[in-house]
Amino acid sequence: MQVRFVGCGDAFGSGGRQNTCFHVTGASVNFLIDCGASALPALKRSGIVRNDIDLILITHFHGDHFAGLPFFLLDAQFSRRTRPLVIAGPEGIESRLAQVMEALFERSSATQQKFELSILPLKPEETRNLGAVTLTPYPVVHGDSGGPFLAYRIEADGRVLAYTADTEWTAALVPLGRDADLFIAEAYTYERTIRNHLSLQTLEAHLSEIKPKRLILTHMSDDMLSRLDGLAHAAAHDGMIVEF
């Protein structure tokens, strides 16, 4: 299994980083986790063939995780995509996607796609099989707008990938990441507690419960980026490729 961090930045582009978009590939899978506003040009810059992507998983409806979908779909339409595509995310994703498409490209939500497009709402802690991906969403805490908010535990090709998405500490992160082969976790700040976000020190206090086999930090503010040289954990950067 391979994860390419197409974008791993926060909503403010701290450090000049692209919005969140992870490309996951394996023997039987090819999918994205989140599709932030800058995802399409970042995917193209990385040379990723968008037509090969079967599934896009959205964690929540903030623009740095969600707003790239209209551009992705418009590009798919005009590049004559033929491969079926599944977009899955929190409940309400059908109406939210239609709203953002209309806001960015008027009448685009009513366009008949030339490929089969399925939009699937996900319920917390309800495991779903999406092709070769077994997905368990967990509810996380990230404010009052832009939700519902989901973190994902993903099983595919005999490996487990867990991603916290954006969240403050919640007990759901323990079963989410427990013994995962790769645990991708937000570390927005180093020690300062900010509502709706996770600090590295808070995460570290619970790593003995989670016991991930490998940890990579993402969605870092300038506070965290200024400390990269002294971190005891791996930190994502745009373009980073991880085999696990």
pLDDT tens profile 178-198: 999 999 999 999 999 999 999
What is residue 164's predicted lDDT score, i.e. its pLDDT? 98
Question: Does pTM surpass 0.85?
Answer: yes
pLDDT at residue 112 tops 90: no
Domain that holds residue 52: 2-243
CATH number of residue 136's parent domain: 3.60.15.10
- Average pLDDT of span 124-135: 98
- Average pLDDT of span 13-21: 97
pLDDT at residue 35 tops 90: yes
Residue 30 in tokens: 């090819």
With a pLDDT cut of 90, the percent of the chain lying above it is 98
Cβ atoms within 10 Å of 15's Cβ, excluding its own: 17
What is residue 111's predicted lDDT score, i.e. its pLDDT? 86
* Cβ contacts of 45 within 8 Å, gap of 6 or more: none
What is residue 235's predicted lDDT score, i.e. its pLDDT? 98
Q: How many domains does the chain have?
A: 1
What is residue 113's predicted lDDT score, i.e. its pLDDT? 87
